[in-house]
A and B are shown apart, each in its own frame.
Chain A
């Protein structure tokens, strides 16, 4: 266990030292995004803290504390918990398949007593951790071009298919893309990447026509031609574009966005909050939000490169990938560049489960920063090192 010569043994284990190592700049960027979210929620709530803005800030505060607490957890604990968490998440997905509640036409929720949850949400993190763990132990050859790649691929595809069957295409896609991103950054051979991309391009039209549910297909077709049915399925996209476009450079001002205030903008507090931001705060506001997101991604990826352990790198990169995918997919959807797929804008949109997933993920990323000099064993039992 080589430790940096610069510090005394055991010095890094002290929590006050760890707290100083927390990336407070990163935490500030995240807080700013959540703050803008609260501001716009205050506005679209009719210039009122109720019903959204107050809850949003409260949740962010709790998640913030959780994130900092998680950042102090030793990476070895994370490493050991990867497979158990993945296994539990997978079991929960199967349980959803068997016993889940049907809400709004999809079987996504699992109720235990009065507590209900969406296991697919946990899977976004679990897949990153499980893959990071696997690649942490795998050799270079295994990660680039090897039959062993069947293992990470299965780890991705089993939950993806389960979630897609619920059906929750948005989350399934997110898990798939996150997993694939981890595989790529872990060093997947370019030939496999190229072949998979080509196969995907061929398969997508067939998928749209034969596998998708009607409403899903409608959304895709509407995306391709939104003006065909402006009051039906194309309504969301059109109203969202009107909201953003009419904001202009400087926006209509807080509380003055007619599209969001008069309910022309659907889901203005959740999936389409970015449109409300752009309407009321204009291009300046929208640009600021994207700049903060870009900065957050940059900072998180930088943390990933600082890590001395492969697990740390991949876990941080994978979590960041989930976050970046959220931002890009939601942004494209709201601006009419992608079909409407029910993906919220992380930290900006109102909603507890996504915020929790993202903040737990960033807890792990921050943990990677705090423990960046920690070297982790490749295959030994975590508990063995204490012997």
Chain B
């Protein structure tokens, strides 16, 4: 089975005078893994509700494979969905849960059995068929929910914060599983989350929403490296952000005076843009910082080790800079209070609208 193309044409949603979603156009390609990322209340659930049909749009159309489904009731849309709280039926066994969508499709018993078994094998829970949901762990329940949502081969799979209720290690484990799952079933997946790392880890493309508007759509890497504005830059990954006071041209680029009192060099920037962003891993620290267009003397506030890298907070003239450096024991080892040099190139300073 192949995934379906999903199109939003001028979809909006109002609750009285409150606009939950401004008019939105968006096309999701067949088989794509598409993440809707944004803080709560940004409109991502509203977009999802327009696909399921549970919260029909106030205006506009939703098309699945070119067919207008705006007025089709949810149960005729042939969509699979995974909920944050799993939404497994507590009084049914795992087998009965997974068999439910097949029974509603009036499939013969033998085929139901075969399909359920194949589906449970896919999530590696074949021996749990006779259990009740509450006898399973959270991660197992979510895998059953995956099996149930895909057992009838829906061309569209919606996932509404499916890992939100799980702890961090389990989340990362299930991320790998969901990626594999997507390759296996080939459905178009719309994945709603407010966790930017999760969206970046899973999705082919990510749409970032804010206050009912699409801010930017792109690949995780594209969004990270070329954010359209300060919100996107801050939402996807970490960023050092400074408010820009004044921009003046100079040979090789522009010179910025920030509100914090720093003077920075950047490759480009136009008057009216308000924010300059520098990614923590683009900032060199120690000897490596020499010879950059931007170069400052600072003091290490603290250093946090995590797998593969160290995250420093460095005080530079009263501003706190985040710096991420490879945890190379010989070169990058600075203790709190140590004076250090930090620096970055013009190209690494992104000047953006707010």
Q: Do A and B come from one complex?
A: no
